Structure 1
Amino acid sequence: MQLSCVMQLHYFSGCAILCLLMFHDKCLAYKIPNVDFEMLNERGFEVSIPDEPGMQRVFYLFQIDESCPALMDYITEPLSGNWVSKQKFSLQNNDKIQISVLVQYNDEIYEKSETRVILNARLLTTRDTKSQSISHPPDEGICQAYFNGEQETKPCKQAQTIARQGQRVCQGDLLFEDTFNTAELNRTTWKHDIRQRMYHVEEELVAFDDAQKNSYVREGQLHIVPTIATEVTEGSFKLGDRCTAIDSPEQECSISQGSFYTIKPPVYSAQLHTRNSFSFKYGKIIVRAKLPKGDWLFPYIMLQPISTHAESHYAKQLRIAYARGNAHLRSIQQEDISGNHLYGGMIVWHHGRAVQFLKERLSNVHYGDDFHNYTMIWNRDKITLMVDDEVYGELYDGLPFFNEKCFIIFGVTVGGFLNFDDNILPRDVKPYKNREPRAALAFWQHRDTWEPTWGKHSAMVIDHVRVYAE
């Protein structure tokens, strides 16, 4: 695209924006009018500035949530008294859009920027810079506008993905990868959730910790291993300053000795997350993993909104894939809900109750018998679920609940009222009832029924995880 003034698009804060070559020191004689902004519902948005005598050309640059590449429009003629740009990009709640305007006025160039935030379908102006006069060297004439000072060597189709601040994103770009080929887990990328989960009568029968025996890297794979406690009644359970609990630290970080209704955790395991290092909104995540195998084990391969913590109680979840660890388990209706049954989708909490948007796939073998590629493609209007490149479900409902960046969570837990609902299981199948005050003790006392099903396959093993822009 050729412009009648000298300008280039360079990376600024890691992203392409207008680089203003030279500034006049003389007093400003012209002020660019305020930008009029109108949302066009699902059809995109429209911006305009009123025409004034002396205006010759207008260049717009739009950057949404600091993602790249930016949207651009070059206007050479006003329309009905306004310099109008219509964009088909559909804005969402909490999106932030920066609008940069370049105006050629009486053969001189002026620039200004405005920032708008979409909040509950309303527009808020958060920043409006003053107009600046810029010029070009006298010997320069027509030049081309392009990214990064060079012509693109390959086409870049703008991605809807929002990732790191200022990062330019093209569809198909690899945004995150861990192949676990280092000697130890990268603790800069992955943080541990450290707390016990039995403080609520409907919670899980496990304590998450960062012990080496529960999570480690070996031969290019991440292992998350649940281990059974040797005793549960002697002494007290105290995590001290290591505890990462958010909701109820007084309950999640310790268990008092001699409490009638509670015991120390019968199982220890690990849960890791990228909340502090990587998150994204919209994209394709692929996790190659072997799920855990053993009665009442449950894997977490999921995304969670950045506004929550990994320790948040009843947090919304995008579950990339899960299958119960049991080799043989049927519901009251005789549906196979064992580890042969794969699920993926969304969990949304509404007034303390779970609303589930799930898709499923039944296999002839347990998903803990071998590695599989579990994929979730998260778009603005759809979530696609895949296993080994086969699509087994698409979701359209529930997406408005996930309108922010999410981070990755890997973990293995035990039990849980949502994971193993008493209402769908025949009586006396489970060695405990979810809402019994001493559920953890009942589970422990019946360990002879479930402990033999655990073994070397009770770990979840992750070969790699990759996230691509969509």
Structure 2
Amino acid sequence: MSSRTSVHTPAIQSNSGTNPFSTPLRHSRAPSVSDQSASGRGVSYGPPPDVNGSQQPRRRFKSARLVPGEYDEKPWALSKHPKLKWEKTIFYGSVVLGVAIGAFICYRAFASVTNHSYCLILEDDFSTINKDVWQYEIQRGGFGSGTFEWTTDDPKNAYTDADGLHIVPTLTTESTDITRDQLIDNYVLNLTTDGTCTTKGIDNCSIRSNKTAGTIVNPVRSARLSTKGKKTITFGKVEVVAKMPQGDWLWPAIWMMPENDTYGEWPRSGEIDIAESRGNAGDNYTSGGRDSIISALHWGPLPEVDGFYKTSGQHQVRRTDYTEAFHTFGVEWSEDYLFTYIDSRLLQVFFLKFNKLMWNRGGFSEKLVNDSALYNPWANTGRSNTPFDQPFYLILNVAVGGTNGFFNEGIGNKPWGNESPTAPKEFFDSMTNWLPTWGEGDKRGLTVKSVKMWSQGAC
């Protein structure tokens, strides 16, 4: 009988205890560097877990340079440095001192502001045009500035309503029976014969249109009101609440002239421009259109040496203009100073202190006109504010165009030349360009809500 050797193979224990051939579960463990796969998945480099699989807390770093023992963190913070107290004292003391000095300077500035007493001599809200206060200045000669309008007392050019006084320019062919052909040729306008001209001089009161010569009847009519002979001040204040007109080559003005030419013809006796503007859009007239207000004093022994450029100012606004809302345009004038402002005394357009003779301020003794030395018309007064030491009256008007340089050559597609003998016709010939820019109705006019005039001193 043959014998066979028997081999005993132990059974593979399953974790489940049911299937001896099932794949045993793998023990989970923390990934190591060698476990990083080619796929680029990151590896955790945190502290390894303990035998129970829980995460061990990170061990606090200790420098090997320190001798084992107890150490205080920031030992210098345990006691304050003696200089620290003085540093705080100096700092806070400087702050207090600075505030005190600033307050003192502000107080001195406030205390130095002159506050005169005033007497109200005119307050008009224009429920009507009061003939006891205002007079119409009617002529067609350009008032020395070569402007193109014919000023009238026509209700179409000056009227009042709930908004106040409106001074509105109109086309002559629209507001009269003068035809376009008559405007250009063979028509005689004679304001003296009509009995309406308020000034003297043939050219100021009459004209004959002539196609050959290029002379035309004034293509635009407007109005000019003043308080001449009725309300004047020598030192005081004026405030006019108004809204400016829109339209190319419109020239609104709020200004003052001397009641008497005490020192001679313009500009010897002076002129005070409270607020002037141009109706041109600001983006088309970069030197200042209806987004700009100009104030100035005119003075000098002759027109050729008018010193206005030394006593003038301009204020421009952004993203709006002076046709959008009413503003207060004012002047404060005393024996010692004169300044103009918009809405409040804080927004001054220009300020002048009468601290030296106007003759010296203009440097007129150093100038020649036609190779001749200039005559000083103010030499006998001895006052530094001459010629601005006499009664002045107020004027409100809207002019159109002009040849005196207020509208600069070559700006805003200006259609005429200042030296051209046919400037009014050149202006009229370009009507298709400028008329569409004029607003409708009273938008093309100066609207005045109120006027106040004060004389310096008690009533």
Task: Calculate the TM-score normalised by the size of structure 1.
Answer: 0.58
Per-residue deviation, 1:198: 4.7
Structure 2 counterpart of 1:373, which letter? T
Counterparts of 1:286-325 in structure 2, within 5 Å, are 286-308=239-261, 316-325=270-279
Per-residue deviation, 1:264: 0.3
Q: Secondary structure at the match of 2:184?
A: coil
Choose between structure 1 and 2: higher strand proportion.
1
Partner of residue 441, structure 1: 425
Partner of residue 278, structure 1: 231
Q: Secondary structure at the match of 1:196?
A: coil
1:416 to 388, 394, 402: 402
Q: Distance in 2 between matches of 1:236 and 1:199?
A: 20
The answer to whether the 8 A contact 1:330-1:337 is kept is no
Q: Percent identity?
A: 26
- Pair 1:206-2:158 in alignment: no
Q: Distance in 2 between matches of 1:262 and 1:288?
A: 38
- Pair 1:237-2:189 in alignment: yes
1:396 to 353, 360, 371: 353
Q: Distance in 1 between matches of 2:261 and 2:166?
A: 25
Structure 2 counterpart of 1:337, which letter? G
Q: Secondary structure at the match of 1:444?
A: helix
Choose between structure 1 and 2: higher helix proportion.
2
Q: Distance in 2 between matches of 1:209 and 1:362?
A: 31
Q: Distance in 2 between matches of 1:236 and 1:395?
A: 46
Partner of residue 187, structure 1: 131
Q: Distance in 1 between matches of 2:184 and 2:266?
A: 26
Q: Distance in 2 between matches of 1:225 and 1:261?
A: 27
Structure 1 counterpart of 2:397, which letter? G
- Pair 1:458-2:449 in alignment: no
**More moved, 395-404 vs 249-258:** 395-404
* Cα distance, 1:440–1:358 mapped onto 2, change above 3 Å: same
Counterparts of 1:68-107 in structure 2, within 5 Å, are none
Partner of residue 178, structure 1: 124
Partner of residue 295, structure 2: 344
Per-residue deviation, 1:171: 1.1
Structure 1 counterpart of 2:419, which letter? R
Q: Distance in 2 between matches of 1:208 and 1:329?
A: 29
Per-residue deviation, 1:430: 0.4
Structure 2 counterpart of 1:363, which letter? V
Counterparts of 1:159-178 in structure 2, within 5 Å, are 171-178=117-124
- Superposed CA offset, 1:218-241 (max 9, x none): 115011001112232252212122
Q: Distance in 1 between matches of 2:405 and 2:399?
A: 10
Q: Distance in 2 between matches of 1:349 and 1:193?
A: 25
Query: Tell me, which stretches of 5 or more residues in structure 1 are unaligned?
Result: 1-159, 162-169
Counterparts of 1:143-162 in structure 2, within 5 Å, are none
The answer to whether the 8 A contact 1:221-1:462 is kept is yes
Per-residue deviation, 1:338: 1.3
**More moved, 457-466 vs 361-370:** 361-370
* Cα distance, 1:349–1:226 mapped onto 2, change above 3 Å: farther
Aligned residue pair count: 291
Partner of residue 359, structure 1: 313
* Cα distance, 1:269–1:396 mapped onto 2, change above 3 Å: same
1:328 to 254, 261, 282: 282
Query: Tell me, which stretches of 5 or more residues in structure 2 are unaligned?
Result: 1-113, 174-179, 359-384
* Cα distance, 1:396–1:418 mapped onto 2, change above 3 Å: farther
Structure 2 counterpart of 1:290, which letter? K
- Superposed CA offset, 1:150-175 (max 9, x none): xxxxxxxxxx99xxxxxxxx813212
Structure of greater relative contact order (alpha carbons < 8 Å, 6+ residues apart): 2
Structure 2 counterpart of 1:238, which letter? N
Structure 2 counterpart of 1:208, which letter? T
Q: Secondary structure at the match of 1:431?
A: coil
